[in-house]
Amino acid sequence: MGNHMNKHLAMVAVTCLAATSVNAEGLPERIKSAGKVIVANQPNYPPMEYKDPATNELMGVDIDLGLALAKQLGTTVEWADIGFEQMISSLTTGRVDLIHSGMSDLPKRRDTLDFVDYMKSGAQFYTTFARKDEFKTLPNFCGKTVGMSRRTSFPDETVKWSAANCEAAGLPAIKVVGTEGSADARAQLKQGRVDAAVQGSETLPYLLNLEKNTYAVVGEPFTAVYQGIGFAKKDTELRDAYAAALQALIDSGEYKAIFAKHGLEGTLLDGIYINGNAVK
């Protein structure tokens, strides 16, 4: 009996503790009782998520923001390292609670997911530092061979951009090369197998800083997309709790501080957007 009573008291104490954080009451019951959110993340996308080569510790914008949001919600994060292709099925089958891994909030993904958007980025052309003078403006890429990860939306977007800005102007089309990932595109660029590459604008400041005088960014991003935290369609309670927690971090200035730490102030949003639409 005594043991049973102690357990009960301990549970009451835990519940009271959780309720003191701002939004714990907004969390679904399963998360409250588990005391954690399981978050799909693949740490191969610096500066969004990556492992510190020295300590193997998870780092990046998504990691810092993910931990701050969970803290705001009075819970903890268990990161689940899942390949990008498996993330959506892991979410819909309930293996993870949400996806927070540099995922673009694309209309075609909204059939299965709801997104709480937290930054803006876009597809951006870059080339080698040695060849930067050949590419003064974006139409200079017309007729050139450009590498980019085939797992992203960049190949489709580049073909579309080329149709509107190269072919429509009587210039040759960009030759799009789908690579194994962004690192593969960079390797092919360095080897001279492609003339240029396309990557998410949010990743390029980190890259330029890491490998000085190796690459040159050309022009502005040629698409505009939001990155979002993905939730299962039926999980509106968790989605709304996260939206409220993000608003609290925006209000406190912590949101801005996280992005400033990673040199990405230019990607900040001015408020809460769900599935690309501002929430009034």
CATH number of residue 188's parent domain? 3.40.190.10
Indicate if 48 and 159 belong to the same structural domain.
no
Do 147 and 9 fall within a single domain? no
Round to whole Å and give the CA distance between 257 and 263. 10
Are 61 and 193 members of one domain? Answer: no
Q: Looking at the structure, do residues 43 and 106 belong to the same domain, yes or no? A: yes
Q: Are 110 and 196 in contact (CB under 8 A)?
A: no
Please report the pLDDT score of residue 99 as a whole number: 98
25-46 confidence digits (pLDDT tens): 689 999 999 999 999 999 988 8
Predicted local distance difference test score (pLDDT) of residue 120: 95
Maximum distance among all Cα pairs of the chain, rounded to whole angstroms: 85
Residues 130 and 239 in one domain: no
Residue that finishes a domain, picked among 195, 218, 241:
218
Whether residue 178 sits in one domain with residue 77: no
In percent, the amount of the chain with pLDDT more than 90 equals: 82
Residue 89 above 50 pLDDT?
yes
Reported confidence tier of residue 178, pLDDT bands at 50, 70, 90? very high
On the question of pLDDT at 20 being above 70, the answer is no
* pTM value > 0.85: no
pLDDT at 50: 94
pLDDT at 190: 96
Residue 236 has pLDDT above 80, yes or no: yes
Whole-angstrom CA distances from 247 to 111, 116, 242, 252, 269 are: 25, 11, 9, 9, 11
Average pLDDT on 128-150 reads: 97
Kindly state whether residues 207 and 266 are assigned to the same domain: no
Which of the residue ranges 9-23, 57-71, 173-187 would you say has the lowest mean pLDDT?
9-23
Q: Which residues contact 92 (CB under 8 A, 6 or more apart)?
A: 112, 232
**Does the bond joining 43 to the residue before it have cis omega, within 30 degrees of 0?**
no
pLDDT at 280: 78
In angstroms, rounded to a whole number, what is the distance separating the alpha carbons of residues 146 and 139? 13
Pairing mode, strands 273-274 and 113-121: antiparallel
Q: What is the number of structural domains in the chain?
A: 2
Q: What is the mean pLDDT of residues 138-160?
A: 95
Domain containing 12 equals 2-121+226-278
